[in-house]
Amino acid sequence: MRSSSWFALLLVAAANLTVWAWMGEPVQGTAWTRPMQGIAYNPSGLRQAPADGPDMVAAEIDRDLDLIDRRFDRVRTYSTNDDLDLVPYLARRHGLDVTLGAWLDGVDSRDAPEIDRLIAATEDNSNVTAVVVGNETLLRGDLDAAGLKLWLDKVRAEVDVPVATAETWHIWLDHPELADSVDFLAVHILPYWEGVPIDNAIAFIDEQYGRLQQAFPGKRIVLTEVGWPSDGIVIGDAVPSPANQALFLRSFVAYAERTGIPYYLLEAFDQPWKVAAEGTAGGYWGIWDEARAPKFSWSEEVSDLPTLPVLALLSTLLGGLAALAFLYRNAMSLGGRIAFAGLIQASAGLAVWGSHVALARYLTTWSAAGWLAIGVGVALLIVVLLVEAFEWCDVRAQPRLHRAFGALSFGSRPQRRVSIHVPLHNEPPDMVADTLTALSRLDYDNFEVLVIDNNTKDPAVWRPVEAFCAHLGERFRFIHIDHCPGFKAGALNRGLAITDPTAEIVAVIDSDYMVAPNWLADLVPHFDRDEVAFVQAPQDYRDGGESLF
């Protein structure tokens, strides 16, 4: 293989590694190593939503709480259903305080048992230090303020711990009357959902928290949900990513430490089941993934591509091997080799990156099928792109264009008789007229032209061609076949049957080609060599000079 090919491959590989390094450039941000206040907890997993999954096993909850206890002082739950009322009992073993939640959806047959379990678990467990009755109930419209106040008043009369309901910051401002029925405000402030860029997220929280303090002076305000997702759609200027999640949470806990704001991060573990209700981001708020593995470091550099070395190496090897297969013993110029190798490398990088994005997500059967369909479609597009690009580079990036044979002449020998066959089917008459006019200008005397129209039903299409052949003279013969099995191949076979018996050579062109005057004069003499039975000229369409392709 030429040295220029190795140079092109090394140059493209270096560029590929540079792009990967730029995509996965690590950032430091604020480091945090001390224990944190609280975190929202739901033990449901990949295929297990709280409303329809099997009951939680106490051992699984205990395992989760052991993991949480290593970093946090307390947990917040959302329901007492699906064995979640066991959390306070199990949390006592780990020294964790619990803010116990009851889920309200406006259906008394479900809400009443939730409240009963909440009250019972609170009375039995001294580590339940607060309760939250309803989560974003007004935001969803499941209850109105009056209905929610009835449940709050009931619980406050039964338990000896502070009682609240959790709503987003603007719902509290819209319903200040709720403050009279709670002991503290449980507030959700999530800058991502409001399209706030990561750089302004802490300032946004500070602003909304300040508005609540002004609206409810003397009332304790707890941020019961605050976080950032590691995946999802971009909302406004808010970009979800692993690095942004780490940067936000590390900056927030430092901010809360300075200001004394009580908080619960959202959330302990990824909840993939939420994707159906909240979109992609819903499944990616956890600081641990669904398998309970940490998603980022709280003190070291973080990156959106933690597996960058593997991805970069894989894409470089894949692109390099594919480029080798194309460039081996090819005569492209150095520029052509670099351009084509670069396109192959870009395609390999896209394939690796796309596979990483798909496999890094929580896939259901349907989403896996969707990603597979997308992958197959993209792969086919890449194949088409590379084939077209190779043809383009193979012609345009040659050091010099050359033919395997040159033009010959008859000299003093007589010209051989040639029968030129032009098959047609429903072709525009004006286009065919241009093709036939070019044939009439050949600088070759001994030929005939058979124009074989097959299966064209509309006389307004084939009759003008017939008339034009008559105009060009007896050398041009027009044959219309109303029913011709085999279409073009059948028409060519029919043409052989009526070819001038003195013709020694048959030439075939499509109806949209315009031959050069020297076409036959240059090519026919090659048949004087016994080993030549077939000659093909370059396929040059009528618009060949209008585009690089």
- Considering 252, 283, 314, which residue would you say is the last residue of a domain? 283
- Which CATH number goes with the domain that contains 512? 3.90.550.10
- Torsion-angle region of 69 (φ positive above 0: left; ψ -120 to 50: alpha; else: beta): alpha
- Residue 241 within a domain: yes
Residue with tokens 């992958």: 375
Q: What is the predicted pLDDT for the residue at 158?
A: 96
Residue 156 belongs to what domain range?
28-283
Nearest to 509 by CA among 529, 530, 523, 526: 523
- Residue 263 within a domain: yes
Are 99 and 69 part of one and the same domain?
yes
Q: pTM of whole model > 0.75?
A: no
CA angle 152, 177, 266 (to 5 degrees): 65
Are 382 and 439 part of one and the same domain?
no
d(CA 21, CA 522): 56
Residues in contact with 128: Cβ distance below 8 Å, sequence separation at least 6, in sequence order: 88, 97, 98, 99, 100, 121, 122, 161
Are 194 and 62 part of one and the same domain?
yes
Are 238 and 140 part of one and the same domain?
yes
Nearest to 372 by CA among 354, 384, 389: 354
pLDDT mean by block of 10 residues, the chain; 549 residues: 77 89 84 95 68 66 95 96 89 96 95 96 96 97 96 96 98 96 97 97 98 96 98 96 95 97 96 88 94 93 85 89 74 81 91 87 86 92 89 73 65 87 95 95 95 94 96 96 91 93 95 91 89 81 63
Are 343 and 384 part of one and the same domain?
yes
CA-derived radius of gyration, the chain: 38
Q: Are 184 and 162 in contact (CB under 8 A)?
A: yes
- Residue 545 within a domain: no
End-to-end CA distance of the chain: give it in Å, rounded: 27
Phi and psi at residue 441, in whole multiples of 5°? -100, 10
- Residue 290 within a domain: no
- Which CATH number goes with the domain that contains 53? 3.20.20.80
Q: What is the predicted pLDDT for the residue at 547?
A: 64
Angle formed by the axes of helices 108-124 and 145-158, to 10°? Answer: 30
Are 392 and 438 part of one and the same domain?
no
The burial of 523, by beta-carbon neighbours within 10 Å (0-12 exposed, 13-18 middle, 19 or more buried), is given as buried
Are 97 and 191 part of one and the same domain?
yes
Residues in contact with 40: Cβ distance below 8 Å, sequence separation at least 6, in sequence order: 75, 76, 77, 78, 224, 225, 264, 265, 266, 267, 268
Q: What is the predicted pLDDT for the residue at 48?
A: 59
Dihedral (Cα; 267, 271, 272, 277), 10-degree rounding: -90
Helix (H) or strand (E) holding 181: none
- Tokens, residue 330: 């090819």
Are 357 and 465 part of one and the same domain?
no
- Residue 182 within a domain: yes
Q: Are 59 and 93 in contact (CB under 8 A)?
A: no
- Residue 299 within a domain: no
- Residue 411 within a domain: no
Structural domains in the chain (count): 3
Are 144 and 59 part of one and the same domain?
yes
d(CA 436, CA 345): 46
Q: Are 36 and 253 in contact (CB under 8 A)?
A: yes
Are 429 and 336 part of one and the same domain?
no
Q: What is the predicted pLDDT for the residue at 414?
A: 86
- Residue 378 within a domain: yes
Q: Which residues of 421-433 are buried (b: 16+ CB within 10 A; e: fewer)?
A: bbbbbebebeebb
Are 390 and 447 part of one and the same domain?
no
Are 93 and 220 part of one and the same domain?
yes
- Considering 250, 283, 316, which residue would you say is the last residue of a domain? 283
